[in-house]
Every structure is written in C-alpha cells, then in structure tokens.
Amino acid sequence: MVAHSPVFTALRVVELADDPGGEQVGKLLADLGADVIKVEPPGGAASRAVGPFADGDSAAIADRSLTYWTYNTGKRSVVLDDSAAGRPDRDRLIAAADVLISTARPAELAERGLDFAALMRASPRLIILSLTPFGLTGPHADYRSSDLVGLAAGGLLNSCGYDDHSIPPIRPGGNQGYMTAATLAHCGLLLALIERAKSGQGQLVDASMHEAIAVSGELANPYWFYPRALVRRQTARHAQPVPSQPALFECSDGVWVYFALILSDRRAWAALVSWLDDRDMAADLTEPKYLDLEFRQREFAHVQEVIEAFFLVQDSTAAYQDGQGRGLPIAPVRAPEEVLQDEHLREREFFVPVQLPADKPRTAEFPGSPYRFSAFIARPRSPARLGADTSRVLAELDGDGSHHGGQA
C-alpha cells in the first residue's frame, strides 16, 4: 500500500523535453516511481527560466522556478553539454534506458544529431515517446507552437471566451494545450510498455499536441460531424450552436458561482424554487403557472433576475453546500488559494508535502496524484537542483549498468 509499483521503479526513462507537455509525461512516470533522468543543457532546461519563482521574481534563478517544480517532480537532473561534445554521454544514457521522451521537431532532431531509427536499431527494446507540436510527419511537422497557438490550431480556443464577440477567444490558464497532449501521450507510452511486455520489442510513439487538442473539443466536433453546426463561445459555459442563458452568478462575498439551470428538468426546478422559498426569495416563482415548461421558458428573463437577486445575498460557500444538499449541481468558482483550504480535499489528504530543493530545508504542498491505486502509490517527490545527479548518473553508466531508483 505504501510502495511504488516494482514495474515502475524498474523503469529507466531519459527525458529530453523542453516544453511542459514532455515534462509532464516525465513527471507522471516519476510520480509512479520511475527513474526519470532529465537531461538539461548547462544553463538548465527552458522551464527553469520561467516564473513565477520561489521568493519572488527578483530571485529568478534556475533552482527556484515554480514552473520547473510543477512539471518536474521526482526526476534526476543531469547536465550535458548541448553541443556535439555532450552527445556520446547522451546516447549512452539513451542506450541504457527503457524509454526516451523527446519534444524535438524533425528539424531540431537533425540539429541535435538524434536519429530515432538508429537508436531503436541499437536498442530494440527502447520505446521512444515523441511528443511534438504537430507530430513528426505531415506538412506542418516543423511548425512552431506554444500553448496559445496549439489551442488555437486544435480548435479548443474557438470554444472559450465571452458572450461579447468583440472580445477574442480567451486562452484558459495552466498550459492546458500541453497538458491535454501530455495525458494522451502518456497513454500511448503505457500502451507501448504493455505491448513490449508481450513482444519484447520497443517502438516509436509519435504523439502530436495538435491532434490531441483536435480530438478534445468535446461537443464541437460531434456538432460538426452530425448536424453540421458550429459552436459559438459563451461566457464560462458550453459553446453551443444556439445561445444559452448565463450561468455565472455573483454572491455576497464577491465569489461567482456556476449554476446552469436546465428549465426542462422538473426536479431541478422544484429544488430551486423550494430553496428560494425557504429563504423568502422565490417572488412569484411558486405560482402554479410556472409548472408549465413553456411558461417558464417565456418568463426566463424574469426567472434569471430572481436567481441573480437570490445569489447576491448568499455566501458562496453556503450556496455551494445548500445547493448541493438539495441535489443541484452548483459550484463556487474557486481561486487556487481557496482550493487549498477545501475541507473535502483536506480530508482526502490530496495535497502532499514535498521537500523543496532550496538552500534551507523547507517543504511546500504540491497537488497529489489524481489517481489512487490500492496496490501501489503514485505521489510527487522532490524536484532536483540543476545538475544534482550528473556525476552519479554518469558513474552508473560506467559501473555495472544496474538501475537505480529515483530519489526517495
């Protein structure tokens, strides 16, 4: 119950990733116990230069990037010269690995002297996970990308923004284009590991952020594939081919709640009216004429006003508990600092203390693993200081070649 799976602790991964997508796949493996060796250039991976930084942006140094820490828990850090001088060690590391994670586009592979076919010929059990912006093949294989650009190209951005269409589509936060690509690429890698256990053969998994986003629009593609309708963005609620009612309501504490009333749902209507009535704020909604769906639909602007007035005098946390207690799918729009205080997450011990690679011993809470297994654990471990494991990892290569687990 308290140990990693031996299948993952035996897994040796070399990560050549310089975007959050590839780094996140390495993190997911490291959290399961895999020995993930992150190869970085002398100045550190690109993410080490991305803020925010521990102790503020004025402390912008490689070992204080919260972006790096987010996507690189539990890995070992090895610094190798990124010119040709570092390549022999890099290639020896890859030859001794089960998995190589790469985010380089075809042109970058050529520049860096990485030849996947040759690596796989030399190590038939090697699995290469290539996660690139557009995939290794096709006319856009060398197109550049970013989280914003990826979300735009893949269609997800088209669904996100405000009712006011003079405002452009708005990118949701948190590198979700890369995160979508990472989760699906992780699945591809796991499939390849399952296949290798049967065949003894590795393979190349060529995953593409563009495709990952293009298949993750939820309703957008089915609406095009079937009724040939295009969805249009709406504020914080589903993009639809036809407009729907606003679903954000402001509460007395200034926090918004999300509540999408489905007028045709009689049970939800009854629960809402009884809630309003218990607070003496139902106005005329208790009148029998509102039991008629068409009447409710005709009067929807009025219904919406009554709900707006109601939430304006509710505390968001109380509204969450009361509404959910009445079976209504309602939720406060929580800021991250409020998420950290959530009693439900606290009781489940979701957040876990992680030792920070800081000068003074210090821990901070990180989000735990989203899946829990009865047979083994997955949880984040300390991110590494730049180059912390270089000499040890290279010594292992020169030694008996036996695998060492990641840091405890």
Partner 1 sequence: MSLELATTAVDRVPRARTGPLAGIRVADFCWMGVGSVATRLLADYGAEVIKIENRKRLDTPRKLPIYRGVIRAYGEEDTDPDPNKGGLFNNYCRNKLGVTIDMSVPAGHELAVELIRRSDLVTENFAPGVMERWGLTYDFMRTLRPQVIYGRMSGFGHSGPNAHYRSYGPVVQAVSGLTFISGLPGREPSGWGLSYMDNQAAYYASAALLTAILHCQQTGEGSEVDLSAVETGVGLIGADLLDVTVNAQATRRDGYPTGNRLQHPHAAPHGVYPALGEDTWVAIAVFGDVDWDRFVAAVGSPAWALDPRFATQQSRCEHQDDLDAQVAQWTRQRDKHETMRLLQAAGVAAAAVQNSQDLTDNDPQIAARGTFFELDHPVIGPALFEGTPMTMSRSEPDNWRSAPLLGEDNDYVFGEVLGLSPERLVQLSEAGVI
Residues in 69-88 that interact with partner 1 by CB under 8 A: 69-70
Residue 399 CA to residue 406 CA, distance in Å, equals 17
Q: Is 87 exposed, middle or buried (0-12, 13-18, 19+ CB in 10 A)?
A: middle
**Interface pattern 156-195 for partner 1 (x via CB under 8 A):** xxxxxxx--x-xxxxxxxxxx--xxx-xxxxxx-xxxxxx
253 binds partner 1 (CB under 8 A): no
Binding mask 205-244 for partner 1 (x = CB under 8 A): xxxx-xxx-xxxxxxxxxxxxxx-xxx-xxxxxxxxxx-x
CB of 181 to partner 1, least distance (A): 7
The whole-angstrom separation of Cα 171 and Cα 333 is 17
Smallest CA-to-CA distance from 314 within 305, 302, 323 is with: 323
- Regarding 387 and contact with partner 1 (CB under 8 A), the answer is no
260 touches partner 1 (CB under 8 A): yes
Site for partner 1 in 118-147 (CB under 8 A): 134-135, 137-141, 143-146
- Taking CB under 8 A as the criterion, the residue among 84, 301, 375, 408 binding partner 1 is 375
**320-324-330 Cα angle (round to 5):** 60
Task: Single out the residue of 146, 41, 118, 116 nearest to residue 84, CA to CA.
Answer: 41
Single out the residue of 42, 309, 318, 373 in contact with partner 1 (rule: CB under 8 A): 373
- Part in contact with partner 1 (CB under 8 A); list of ranges 35-43, 201-209, 384-392, 394-402: 201-209
How many residues at the interface with partner 1, by CB under 8 A?
158
List the one residue from 83, 111, 199, 291 that touches partner 1 (CB under 8 A). Answer: 199
Instruction: Give 6 or 42: the residue with its C-beta nearer to partner 1.
Output: 6
CA distance 270 to 253: 26
Of 78 and 192, CB closest to partner 1: 192
Q: Closer CB to partner 1, residue 295 or residue 373?
A: 373
* Signed CA dihedral, 174, 175, 180, 186: sign only: negative
Residue that the structure tokens 């990308």 belong to:
145
| 329-348: contacts with partner 1 (CB under 8 A) | 329-340, 342-345, 347-348
List the beta bridge partners of residue 128: 100, 204
CA-CA distance, 67 to 172, in Å (whole number)? 17
Among 3, 42, 43, 52, binds partner 1 (CB under 8 A): 52
* Shortest Cβ 336–partner 1 spacing (Å): 5
Other Cβ atoms less than 10 A from the Cβ of 349: the count is 8
- For residue 62, the minimal CB distance to partner 1 (Å) is 14
**Judged by CB under 8 A, does residue 61 bind partner 1?**
no
Q: With the CA atoms of 37, 42, 47 and 52 taken in that order, what torsion angle do they form, in degrees rounded to the nearest 10?
A: 120
Q: Please pick, from the candidates 3, 42, 43, 56, the single residue that binds partner 1 as defined by CB under 8 A.
A: 56
Positions 310 through 329 that interact with partner 1 (CB under 8 A): 324, 327-329
Whole-number Cα distances in Å, 161 to 235, 262, 343: 6, 22, 31
Q: Which residues of 360-393 are buried (b: 16+ CB within 10 A; e: fewer)?
A: eeeeeebbbbeeeeeebbbbbbbbbebbbbbeeb
Q: Which stretch binds partner 1 (CB under 8 A): 80-88, 280-288, 368-376, 396-404?
A: 368-376
d(CA 313, CA 297): 25
Q: Which is nearer to partner 1, 263 or 283 (CB)?
A: 263
For partner 1, which is the closer residue by CB, 92 or 362? 362
Would you say 80 or 212 has its CB closer to partner 1? 212
DSSP 374: S
Site string for partner 1, 2-31 (x = CB under 8 A): ---xxxx-----------x-------x---
Helix (H) or strand (E) run with residue 344 in it: helix 343-347
Q: Are 249 and 261 in contact (CB under 8 A)?
A: no
Residues 275-314 that bind partner 1 (CB under 8 A): none
DSSP 8-state class, residue 383 = B
